[in-house]
C-alpha cells in the first residue's frame, strides 16, 4: 500500500515523530510517499511534489493540525483517495486520531479494516464583469470580510436566483457542515452534524439583529454580490487562501461534484469529538 504523507513543517519537534512513523510503515511492508518539503524537513531522501501525491498513493496520511488537514483536503479534490488525520497540532478537530493511537489505527488501515465517511466540498467561483476570474474548492468555509481599515460592508445575497436579503455587516461566512464548528461557530452559527447535507450561512457582526444564521439544502446555489465595500474586502478560503474582492464582484458558492473520503476514527464518534475538542455541553 502506498501511503502519501504530508505534515506540519513549522515545529522542529515533529521531525523525529514523523520519521518514526515513516520507518514503522516501511517495517509493515507499506510504501511511504512523502512530499518533497516534508522529506527535506525530516532529512529523508526522495519525495515528490505535493501536487503529484494524489495520483501516486492509495491513502493520504496527514500529520499535523487542522490547517495541515485543510490544505491536504483541497489537494485531494476529485481524487478518490481516503484521508486520515493524526493530530500533532493544537485543537485537532479534523485530525481526530491522537499520536498515542496512530500505529494501532494505521495497522487496521494497512489491512484494509477501516470505514470512511464522505464529506462535502464547496466550489467557489468569482465573477467580475460577467467573467469568471477565480475558481476554488474548500472543505471548511468561504469568508467574505473587510480589511483592517474598512468600515461596514454591504453584501446582496441570492439563493437559487431568488433575492434573500442585503447584509450590512463585517462580513459573511458560507460553510460546510464540517466547517460549522470553525469560524462560523465563533460568529454565532449553529453546530451542524458533519454527515448532514446542508450549507450554513452566518453573518459576521451584522448591523441588524434580524440577520440570523441560515441553514439551506446543499443543492442550493448561493450568489453574493459586494455592493458597498468602503475599503478593502477579502475572500478567504479555509482560512488559508485569500483573494481581493472589488465592488460588484459576484461570489458564487455551491456544492462541489466531488466529495472528500475521510477515514473514521475507530475509537471516537462525532459527539465525543464535540465534548473533548470543543468542550461542548460542559457546565
| Residues annotated catalytic, as ranges | 66
Tell how many helices (H) and how many strands (E) occur in the chain.
6, 16
* Cα dihedral value 92, 96, 99, 100, nearest 10: 130
> SS3 for 74?
helix
Cell numbers for 28, please give them: 509493515
Our measurement of the distance from residue 196's CA atom to the centroid of its chain's CA atoms, rounded to an integer in Å, reads: 16
Sheet of 233-237, strand order: 214-217, 198-204, 171-175, 141-146, 233-237, 241-245
Which residues are CB-contacts of 216 (< 8 A; sequence separation ≥ 6)? 159, 198, 199, 201, 222
CB-CB contact of 240 with 60 (8 Å): no
Amino acid at each position: 500500500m502506498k501511503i502519501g504523507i504530508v505534515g506540519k513543517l513549522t515545529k522542529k519537534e515533529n521531525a523525529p515523530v514523523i520519521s518514526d512513523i515513516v520507518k514503522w510503515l516501511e517495517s509493515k511492508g507499506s510504501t511511504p510517499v512523502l512530499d518533497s518539503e516534508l522529506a527535506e524537513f525530516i532529512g529523508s531522501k526522495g519525495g515528490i511534489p505535493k501536487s503529484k501525491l494524489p495520483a501516486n498513493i492509495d491513502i493520504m496520511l496527514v500529520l499535523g493540525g487542522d490547517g495541515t488537514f485543510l490544505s491536504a483536503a483541497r489537494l485531494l479534490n476529485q481524487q478518490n483517495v481516503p484521508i486520515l488525520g493524526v493530530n500533532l497540532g493544537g485543537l485537532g478537530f479534523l485530525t481526530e486520531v491522537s499520536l498515542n493511537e496512530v500505529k494501532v489505527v494505521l495497522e487496521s488501515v494497512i489491512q484494509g479494516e477501516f470505514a470512511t465517511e464522505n464529506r462535502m466540498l464547496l466550489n467557489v467561483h468569482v465573477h467580475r464583469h460577467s467573467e469568471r476570474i477565480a475558481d476554488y474548492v474548500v472543505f471548511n468555509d468561504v469568508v467574505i470580510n473587510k480589511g483592517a481599515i474598512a468600515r461596514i460592508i454591504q453584501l446582496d445575497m441570492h439563493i437559487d436566483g431568488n433575492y434573500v436579503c442585503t447584509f450590512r455587516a463585517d462580513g459573511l461566512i458560507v460553510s460546510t457542515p464540517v466547517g460549522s464548528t470553525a469560524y462560523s461557530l465563533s460568529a454565532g452559527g449553529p453546530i451542524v452534524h458533519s454527515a448532514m447535507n446542508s450549507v450554513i450561512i452566518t453573518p459576521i457582526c451584522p448591523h441588524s439583529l434580524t440577520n440570523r444564521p441560515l441553514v439551506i439544502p446543499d443543492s442550493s446555489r448561493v450568489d453574493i454580490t459586494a455592493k458597498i465595500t468602503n475599503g478593502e474586502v477579502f475572500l478567504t478560503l479555509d482560512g488559508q487562501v485569500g483573494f481581493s474582492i472589488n465592488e460588484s464582484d459576484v461570489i458564487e458558492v455551491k456544492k462541489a461534484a466531488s466529495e472528500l473520503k475521510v477515514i473514521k476514527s475507530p475509537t471516537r464518534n462525532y459527539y465525543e469529538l464535540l465534548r473533548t475538542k470543543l468542550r461542548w455541553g460542559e457546565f
